[in-house]
Amino acid sequence: MAPELHVVDAEVFAKVQHAFAEALGLDDDEVEMDAKVIDDLGAESLDFLDIAFRLERTFDVKIPRGGVEAAARDGLVDGEPYELEGVLTARGLEALREAMPEVPPDEFHEGLKTAEVPTLFRVATFYRLVLHLMAEAEVRAAG
Amino acid sequence: MSELPRFAFLVHPLSGLHRRVIGVRRGYLPMALGADGLGAPAGLICRPVVPGVAEGQVVSVPLLPDQMIGDQVVALEAMKRAVEDLDVNAVGLGSLCAVVAGRGTGLVDALDGRGPPITTGASATAWAAAENTLAVLRARQARTVALIGIGGAVGGAVARRLVGADVRVLAVCKGRAQVKKAARLGAHGVTLEEALAGARVLVGASTNGGLVDPDALSEGTVVVDVALPATLSSGPRPAGVIVLAGEAVTLPDGWRRGFWGWLYHGLAGYGPWQLYACVVEPLVMAVTGRAAPFSLGRQVDLDDLEAFAAGAAELGIRPRLAHGWREIPVGRLGGMDAAPALPGPAT
């Protein structure tokens, strides 16, 4: 069962929706919070570039390459492998699950390949990433 | 200075070897020796000319594909530096230059009204792919195609043009949004298996490479491929399967390119006797005196595509049925199908 996704900032989400719609040639209302970016919205590999570029410009943030996976790797203790020969380890799966709470837990199954991780991405994944990056930027600006 | 219309085509090296060659061309030692190029200025590769009609230049930013997608802000800045001082009537974008930073829109915004008009090449690519597909269908007396990549600018435009030519388009769709889009364009949203079972002409226009296992194709299938990486994954192909370079077009009448132009034709993969359609989009734009791009951002407008087609015809540019560099005689493509509705794969 999918975790419940609450829109905590309607203005931010509307902008995220619009960025996806522009990048994928869709109407804004077709971009739902729990939509799978690849399987539901039909995004292709290069579309992620466009999505990232539009989000960066809209919110004045910098989306790091491999953003979500990088966060998952950061959650691992030194020496703990995230993946072995392209397949996520048990700890890698756990770290990724923590990094993407919007994805139903059963989708982090044993044998998941790193190349398959983008198929898990929801619109909510990017929405949460944007909120996180905006909060980081605010902290930097304040400090 | 010549009064002829001028155009430019902006590219990036596809490999470290390409970048070294560009370094040699420009006499820029660090690049020739393999420096990473991040701080290097853009440089001229070659000056193609259509005598009495237009003068062109192919210009390269120094970034490799990984660098282009690794930091789009850096890529955008490099592209802006490369084009803002070009004294040309139109600039076309090649390879990832046409993809990063919002498919040309970021570059237009960054130029903020300065510099020449920008066009991405998508109209030309869609036109060539659609026309090459129609040529295959005519040779086979068929009217059904399978299409992968309807979500993209090129795939969507190809679908619309084929539907407009009374072709039945079986569009491979993922998710509700794509099925809706296919219906809007007059295509039929289907699974990959259904598409391959229903047609022996496949148009590949996705940006995801290797989507189709060659084993899944029926004997004699023709793949009109504009996808990068290629639509078919590696492996042996069933008998008679032909893969055509979907965006191949003939050279403009009188096309002259010089030594570096010949080398560029080879390194870019066009070969000696053809170009990819995106290269000629800024040429047609410059020659027709058009200020508005034929394509920019996500959408390709069919009126723009038709305007490009008319301008290309004036210059003697025609779609070219080619496997790699080699032209394929139409006769080799026909004879496999006679009925509009095609049988599924042999079992």
Residue B343 has pLDDT above 60, yes or no: no
Mean pLDDT of B153-172: 96
Q: Indicate whether B328 and B209 sit together in one domain.
A: yes
Q: Indicate whether B172 and B238 sit together in one domain.
A: yes
Mean pLDDT of A64-75: 73
Mean pLDDT of B191-206: 96
- Between B115 and A58, the more confident residue is A58
Is the bond leading into B329 cis (omega within 30 degrees of zero)? Answer: no
| Segment B70-84, tens digit of pLDDT | 899 999 999 999 999
| pTM, entire model | 0.90
Residue A8 has pLDDT above 90, yes or no: no
Q: Indicate whether B258 and B207 sit together in one domain.
A: no
Q: How far is CA A45 from the centre of its chain?
A: 14
Q: Indicate whether B267 and B145 sit together in one domain.
A: no
Residue B181 has pLDDT above 70, yes or no: yes
A22–B175 C-beta distance less than 8 A: no
Residue B347 has pLDDT above 50, yes or no: no
Q: Indicate whether B264 and B239 sit together in one domain.
A: no
Count of residues in chain A: 143
Q: Indicate whether B102 and B14 sit together in one domain.
A: yes
- Residue B338 placed within a domain: no
pLDDT at B33: 85
What is the overall mean pLDDT for chain A? 88
All structural domains of chain A with their residue ranges: 10-142
> Which phi and psi (to 5°) does residue B311 adopt?
-65, -40
For residue B200, give the nearest of B150, B129, B146 by alpha carbon: B146
Mean pLDDT of A60-71: 79
Q: Kindly state the DSSP code that residue B219 receives in the 8-state scheme.
A: T
Q: Indicate whether B194 and B327 sit together in one domain.
A: yes
A interface toward B at CB cutoff 8 Å? 22-26, 30, 35-36, 38-47, 49-50, 52-54, 56-57, 62, 65
Strand-strand pairing, B43-46 and B6-11: unpaired
Mean pLDDT of B182-207: 96
- Residue B346 placed within a domain: no
Mean pLDDT of B45-56: 96
pLDDT at B177: 85
pLDDT at B340: 42
What residues make up the domain containing B155?
123-247+323-332
pLDDT at A3: 58
Q: Does B181 touch chain A (CB under 8 A)?
A: yes
Mean pLDDT of B115-121: 95
User: How far apart (Å, rounded) are the C-alpha atoms in residues B206 and A46?
Assistant: 9
Query: How many residue pairs bridge chain A and chain B with CB atoms within 8 Å of each other?
Result: 72
Q: Indicate whether B192 and B51 sit together in one domain.
A: no
Complete DSSP assignment for B284-309: HHHHTT--S-S--SS---HHHHHHHH
Contacts of A130 (CB under 8 A, 6+ apart): A12, A16, A55, A59, A61
- Residue B65 placed within a domain: yes
Which amino acid is residue A28, in one-letter code?
A: D
Q: Indicate whether B310 and B206 sit together in one domain.
A: no
| Segment B26-47, tens digit of pLDDT | 888 888 888 777 777 788 999 9
| Segment B296-330, tens digit of pLDDT | 998 899 999 999 999 999 999 999 999 999 999 88
Residue pair A50/A26 in contact by the 8 Å Cβ criterion: no
B175–A50 C-beta distance less than 8 A: no
pLDDT at A74: 73
Q: Does B183 touch chain A (CB under 8 A)?
A: no
A41 contact residues in B (CB cutoff 8 A)? 175, 177-178
If one counts the domains in chain B, the total is 2
Residue A133 has pLDDT above 80, yes or no: yes
| Segment B275-296, tens digit of pLDDT | 999 999 999 999 999 999 999 9
Q: Indicate whether B240 and B138 sit together in one domain.
A: yes
What is the overall mean pLDDT for chain B? 91
Q: Kindly state the DSSP code that residue A138 receives in the 8-state scheme.
A: H
Q: Indicate whether B184 and B327 sit together in one domain.
A: yes
pLDDT at B30: 84
Name the residue in chain B with its Cα closest to that of A27. B177
Domain A10-142 CATH (choose: 3.60.20.30, 3.40.190.10, 3.90.1330.10, 1.10.1200.10) = 1.10.1200.10
- Residue B112 placed within a domain: yes
Report the alpha-carbon angle A102-A106-A111, nearest 5.
115
A4: pLDDT confidence band, cut at 50, 70 and 90? Answer: low
Report the alpha-carbon angle B32-B33-B37, nearest 5.
70
B73 contact residues in A (CB cutoff 8 A)? 56, 62
pLDDT at B341: 42
pLDDT at B31: 84
Buried b / exposed e over B138-158, threshold 16 CB at 10 Å, is ebbebbbbbbbbbbbbbbbbb
Write the residue in B71, B151, B299 that is nearest to A44 by C-beta: B151
- Residue B345 placed within a domain: no
B152–A43 C-beta distance less than 8 A: no
pLDDT at B338: 39
B229: pLDDT confidence band, cut at 50, 70 and 90? Answer: confident
Strand-strand pairing, B90-93 and B118-119: parallel
A54 contact residues in B (CB cutoff 8 A)? 102
The ipTM value here is: 0.83
Q: Indicate whether B202 and B327 sit together in one domain.
A: yes
pLDDT at A7: 65
Mean pLDDT of A9-27: 93
